[in-house]
Structure 1
Amino acid sequence: MNLDPSALSYPTYIELLQRALTLWYHDPTVTTPVLKLIAELVLNRSQRLLFDVTSPNGVLLFREASKSMVSYGERVLSISDIPPDKVYPLKLKGVAICFNMLKAALCGNYVNFGVLRLYGDTALDKALDMFVKLLVSVPLKNLLDYPKVSQAYYGLLEVLTQDHMDFISGLEPSVFTYLFSSISEGLTGLDNMVCTGCCSTLDHILTFLFKKLSRQKGGMSPSPTTPFLRILDLNPGLLQGMLSSIMNIIMFENYRNQWSMSRPLLGLILLNEEYFKSLRERVIAMQPADRQPAMAQCFDNLMDKVERNLQPRNRDLFTKNMSVFRRDVSVSLRDVAPQTSSQTPTTTTTTTTSDMMV
């Protein structure tokens, strides 16, 4: 049989896949393989997607991925009253694949997203809007209960905060609060991969915020007008809670990836200097009188020679200081534990952690 090569070219079969998503959106036996196929098409594995500078294929590929995600998302959101035991196969699995698809397309390095907006192409905006709609339709508990869903979400969020903070900073307060709650849960979760991703995500957000506020203080930009800055200004507890959580992890938990934790911690300290001072005083006050100078010295060493900026050299110095801080605090707490009557070292640590969170 002679087959016309043009019959295999775009957009012959991609339209068939999108039609399948439209008709059988409620059937995961159809939507799952179709979404996985599209996600694989946009994944630039081993830099296999190389287009000439005159080729529009990168834009066309992203546009079709966006169209598929939006088409599926609109229809799956219309499904109501899903039984709890069916929520993963009927909805969450497809949502996770969509998140992976969008992440692969965003970091594939074959689309200049600035050009899309320049010429009025709404493919990126529609995909990001659908991401938000799908996200807020998923309760935070479900997001954390299913590892594949949480890994897909946190992976995508890391990419968005790295390259699309203008979009993140313009989100509605309820959505932004949801994001921060999910990051906080991820930081204290048991999945090291998720925790590391949350550290990177939080660092991107804090770096963006620090730069914005630094420009305002220097008179280089007007007063805050974005929802992002207003939310944090009205809810300082969001960042303060993150600071307490990370300090607790560093001081009292056995977390190996200190480098990841140090990145957002420096930004949190610089953005919440007064709160960090009060936190420092509370921790010192909880120590026995003869150990308080040693704990105070630990905190002094943590910020020794650290400047008020987020430059790479300053970050590296803080990471080095934090490693010493963690070691010295561990030694100090071990010395205190035997002196505590009728309490085991574990009980002492738990009490201290709880007090810090107040």
Structure 2
Amino acid sequence: LTVDSYPSYTPILHRAIEVWYHDPAVTTPVLKLMAELAQSRSQRLLFDVSSPNGYLLFREVSKVIDSYGSRILTIGEVPKDQVYTMKLKGISVCFSMLKAALCGNYVNFGVFRLYGDNALDKAFGMFVKLLLSVSQRDLMDYPKLSQNFYSLLECLANDHMAFISSLEPQVFLYILATISEGLTALAYKWSSIQDTMVCTGCCATLDTVITYLFKNLTIKKKKRNHMQQNEAFLRILELHPEILQQMLSTVLNIIMFEDCRNQWSMSRPLLGLILLNEEYFNKLRDSIIASQPPDKQQAMVQCFENLMSGIERSLHTKNRDKFTQNLSLFRRDVNDSLKAANGQSPTHCTQFLDMMS
């Protein structure tokens, strides 16, 4: 089965999924085949400018995801020891397949809406349904599922933020909750490469969301006439400020008190979180300072002052880079201060972060 011959043979694959959707011995190989077909490793999927194959391939991917997803969601309760094989593995491959198709650079996705083709909308819609059928616990318990989901989510945030911002409130809040959970991936018993990849991907996704939010809030203050979907997106976060505050607390806690192996990635969303939650950040800072022994409090005050020294209220690249440099020195100075604080355990300080969460 090659890219040139796939239109002739994909009906067989669709039919196999329709008939044996409940049998992973059939569906898993079929889904993996389609995922591999959609994968453009080393830009192997290069079509002529007059070729429609890129669009046709994505339509087939969308059909497979929609066909499998709509059927697998109809199965009843699955025993815990079989849930991954029977359900979650197929969903994981669907996430991988969609990510490969979205990031393959062989489709101009604006064409679908321009010509009234709902293939992209159907793929996005099924992604949401599949995601909501997976609990956060399962999402973090199965490394392959987690990696495929967060990789897809990063792709969606980078290239399809308009879709993310237009989601129903409960869906958008659920996605934010999964990002928050993914930031603590280092706590799960995966390999160091796996947990770092998930955590780094979550940081990148969160940074994109925060940047989008910050820019739209800035525009909103300057212009009264604003897109309705952005208004809804902003309203969700205004009604639930505790979500971003929790993420700010989590990221700051990891940088200050844990073995942070991806400090640069953590620094990118942290600046936006601080700028969007300045009052909360000030309270968090004061609590951390108050947790120090009296003779060490001034040193901690200086650490926080140095962190924000020279930082403007913007997310321009130059300002981000300056903050990243400050954060590196901040982490070093905080660690030195904690080590010198008469053997005080960093865990003692994290209690205040937990209280602020």
Runs of 5+ consecutive residues of structure 2 not aligned to the other structure: 187-194
- 1:352 correspondence with 2:349: yes
What is the CA distance between 1:351 and its match in structure 2? 2.1
What is the CA distance between 1:53 and its match in structure 2? 1.3
- What secondary structure does 2:26 align onto? helix
Give the corresponding residue for 1:269: 274
Alignment check: 8 A CA contact 1:171 1:227 kept: no
Runs of 5+ consecutive residues of structure 1 not aligned to the other structure: 1-7, 339-344
What is the CA distance between 1:9 and its match in structure 2? 3.2
What is the CA distance between 1:207 and its match in structure 2? 0.7
Deviations 1:11-66 (A, max 9, x none): 22011111111111001010001000000001001000001111111000000000
Taking the TM superposition and a 5 Å limit, the aligned residue runs for 1:22-61 are 22-61=18-57
What is the CA distance between 1:224 and its match in structure 2? 6.4
- 1:64 correspondence with 2:68: no
What is the CA distance between 1:221 and its match in structure 2? 4.2
* Distance change (3 Å), C-alpha of 1:223 and 1:51: closer
Residues in 1 aligned to 2:5 and 2:331: alpha-carbon distance in whole angstroms: 58
Residues in 1 aligned to 2:297 and 2:77: alpha-carbon distance in whole angstroms: 57
Residues in 1 aligned to 2:24 and 2:206: alpha-carbon distance in whole angstroms: 34
Give the corresponding residue for 1:306: 311
What is the CA distance between 1:84 and its match in structure 2? 1.3
Deviations 1:177-236 (A, max 9, x none): 211111111111221111111100100100110110011112264386543211100010
Residues in 2 aligned to 1:9 and 1:49: alpha-carbon distance in whole angstroms: 13
Deviations 1:68-114 (A, max 9, x none): 10000000001112111111111000000000000000000000001
The one of 323, 331, 340 equivalent to 2:336 is 331
Name which one, 1 or 2, has greater alpha-carbon Rg: 1
The one of 159, 167, 172 equivalent to 2:168 is 172
Alignment check: 8 A CA contact 1:162 1:204 kept: yes
Give the corresponding residue for 2:235: 230
Q: Which moved more, 1:126-135 or 1:112-121?
A: 112-121
Matched AA of 1:68? V
Residues in 1 aligned to 2:273 and 2:158: alpha-carbon distance in whole angstroms: 17
Taking the TM superposition and a 5 Å limit, the aligned residue runs for 1:13-162 are 13-162=9-158
Residues in 2 aligned to 1:174 and 1:119: alpha-carbon distance in whole angstroms: 30
Alignment check: 8 A CA contact 1:99 1:153 kept: yes
Matched AA of 2:23? D
Residues in 1 aligned to 2:249 and 2:342: alpha-carbon distance in whole angstroms: 22
Give the corresponding residue for 2:203: 199
- Identity percentage of aligned residues: 62
What is the CA distance between 1:252 and its match in structure 2? 0.3
Matched AA of 2:272? G
Residues in 2 aligned to 1:97 and 1:307: alpha-carbon distance in whole angstroms: 43
Give the corresponding residue for 1:258: 263
Number of matched residues? 343
- Over aligned residue pairs, what C-alpha RMSD do you find? 1.3
Residues in 2 aligned to 1:55 and 1:77: alpha-carbon distance in whole angstroms: 35
Alignment check: 8 A CA contact 1:73 1:130 kept: yes
Residues in 1 aligned to 2:184 and 2:20: alpha-carbon distance in whole angstroms: 38
Give the corresponding residue for 1:319: 324
Give the corresponding residue for 1:3: none
* Distance change (3 Å), C-alpha of 1:314 and 1:84: same
Give the corresponding residue for 2:245: 240
Give the corresponding residue for 1:4: none
Matched AA of 1:323? S
